[in-house]
Amino acid sequence: VPSSSTSHRGSYHHGNLTQALTEAGVALARDGGPEALVLREAARKVGVSATAAYRHFDGHSALKEAVKDVCQERLRAHMAATIAQGEPLPDPAAESLRKLRALACGYVAFARAEQGLFRTAFCKIENLQEPTDLELLESPAYMLLAQVLDETVATGAMSPQRRPLAEAVAWSGAHGLAMLIVDGPLVCFPEEAIQLAIHATIDVLIAGFQH
Amino acid sequence: VPSSSTSHRGSYHHGNLTQALTEAGVALARDGGPEALVLREAARKVGVSATAAYRHFDGHSALKEAVKDVCQERLRAHMAATIAQGEPLPDPAAESLRKLRALACGYVAFARAEQGLFRTAFCKIENLQEPTDLELLESPAYMLLAQVLDETVATGAMSPQRRPLAEAVAWSGAHGLAMLIVDGPLVCFPEEAIQLAIHATIDVLIAGFQH
DNA sequence: TGTACATCAGTGAACGCGCGTTCACTGATGTAC
DNA sequence: TGTACATCAGTGAACGCGCGTTCACTGATGTAC
């Protein structure tokens, strides 16, 4: 019966059940994806009755939403880390392309390393009203991408005429690649072919952005 | 209690229950995706006991597999139709690019029009051994794509150095686009932005293939 | 051509499972006086 | 500083649901002689 909470250990009141349940849910999603995110199981993991979860979440959907948020943030963090861990290049144009490349690699690498979390980050949540507007595009991951794309234009590494909707273009390439490798027909590719496919895709995208 | 079978109507023996159940399963997948593909419900639709399905399928997974195959074929057919319905161009290079473009458009259009079937075409099937080898790449859809890509190289519309793994590159772009639009963060985009995103993605891919 | 019988293709009841959720409840906490 | 009491945060039993699957069965079909 693990608990990462620092207070109220073993007492009747848990202390921070909201976070504990979310973390347990993330653990479930990690191996097993969104289908494995089961409210009762999360409660079991925390060592609490299933009913207790209803004090903190408005049912299963709400828990799923919280877990999904964590997964999205993890993805964003992994992309940012991939950018940060590379060696910056002196030439600004080359540097902006290095970042873009790192972004895509980080995206795909996260999907491969944490396929459960990745799939959860994009899972459907029932009974959720669509945000109708483009507010979703203010998500951190999207803004990170937009910022790097702006940089490629500013440094001349990307043709300005390609800039509109370039977020969707780049995202599509990385997302499709990740899905096909993780979940789709490319799963049976040998590792080296997968590596080649990843870099071929990124190369074509960048070449396309430049013309 | 509909049945598209032409023989044995109303009799104790159905005549072609295998196909009838598959069709019912496709109908379920069509609205509702793979999660909605329920063996008992398919049997109900056909007007037969759930047990009867076990005479024709080795359990739920086998039915799912059959339905998935149909979905993949529908997708391929839609892509082929999209190629065929366009006006052929006199210039061979332009014509090969037109086909490639049509292929991508058809892919995304199918995903949007038949999101349930599309998702089912790529769904996971449990208890299924991986085909280990690249046999899956002999699927009709893949061969159609490969053939068009060969044509773009032969006509000079695509740089030969881009040819290796170009299937994966093109497929990734189209697949990611489809997923993001149908299931992902782009669902809330207005229609016109979606159209722009589709064409921007295809344009970038083709521009990338040429350099 | 007729009949016995193996085989095929269905039936319907039942099982166990695990889920999300609700209910009436009780133990712990903290605040007013 | 002590105590009454409202409120908060848990419990555990139960519900209904629909699923995939199994069982013993029966009605229909077709083939051998």
Q: What's the pLDDT tens digit per position in A51-104?
A: 999 999 999 999 999 999 999 999 999 999 999 999 999 999 999 999 999 999
Cβ-count burial of B53 within 10 angstroms (0-12 exposed, 13-18 middle, 19+ buried)? Answer: buried
> What pLDDT is attached to residue A15?
80
pLDDT of residue B4: 35
Predicted pLDDT of residue A28: 98
pLDDT tens track of chain B, all 211 residues? Answer: 233 333 444 466 788 999 999 999 999 999 999 999 999 999 999 999 999 999 999 999 999 999 999 999 999 999 999 999 999 999 999 999 999 999 999 999 999 999 999 999 999 998 776 665 566 667 888 999 999 999 999 999 999 999 999 999 999 999 999 999 998 889 888 999 999 999 999 999 999 999 9
Residues of A whose CB is below 8 A from B209:
204, 208
> Does residue A132 have a pLDDT over 50?
yes
Nearest to B82 by CA among B182, B202, B172, B180: B202
Residue with minimal CA–C1' distance to D23 is B51
Which positions in chain A touch B204 (Cβ < 8 Å)? 162, 166, 169, 205, 208-209
- Residue B60 Cβ under 7 A from any strand D atom: yes
Provide the CA B40 to C1' D10 distance, Å, integer: 39
Instruction: List C-alpha distances in Å: A127 to A62, A124, A132, B117.
Output: 10, 10, 14, 22
Q: Give the nearest partner residue to B211 out of A178, A189, A211, using CB atoms.
A: A211
Q: Tell me what pLDDT residue B109 has.
A: 98
Cβ atoms of residues B76 and B122 within 8 Å: no
Helix axes B140-154, B92-113, angle to 10 degrees: 150
Residues of A in contact with B186 (CB under 8 A): 168
**Percent of chain B surpassing pLDDT 70:** 90
pTM for the complete prediction? 0.92
Nearest CA in chain B to A141: B185
Q: Which residue is nearest to nucleotide C18 (CA to C1')?
A: A40
Give the tokens for residue A165. 């909707």
CB of A206 within 8 Å of any CB in chain B?
Answer: yes
User: CB-based contacts of B208: which residues, under 8 Å, 6+ apart?
Assistant: A203, A204, A205, A206, A207, A208, A209, A211, B162
**Residues of chain A with pLDDT > 90: what percent?**
82
Looking at residue A14, its pLDDT comes to 80
Kindly state the average pLDDT of the residues A158-179: 97
For the stretch A3-55, pLDDT in tens is 333 344 446 678 899 999 999 999 999 999 999 999 999 999 999 999 999 99
pLDDT top residue among B9 and A175? A175
B13 sits within 7 Å of strand C by its CB? yes
Which of A165, A183, A196 comes nearest B165 by C-beta? A196
Cα distances (angstroms) measured from residue A168 to each of A81, A82, B174, B193: 22, 20, 12, 10
pLDDT at B6: 38
C-alpha–C-alpha distance, residues A94 and A183, integer Å: 33
Q: What pLDDT sits at residue A7?
A: 42
Contact B179 A175 (CB under 8 A): yes
Chain A, 130-189: which have a CB under 8 Å from a chain B CB? 130-134, 136-137, 139, 142, 162, 164-166, 168-169, 171-180, 183-189
CA–CA–CA angle A157, A160, A166 (5° rounding):
85
Residue of A nearest to B129 (CA): A188
- Mind listing the pLDDT tens digit for each residue in B134-174? 666 678 889 999 999 999 999 999 999 999 999 999 999 99
User: Can you give the pLDDT at residue A156?
Assistant: 97
Mapped onto helix, strand or coil, the DSSP state of residue A89 is: coil
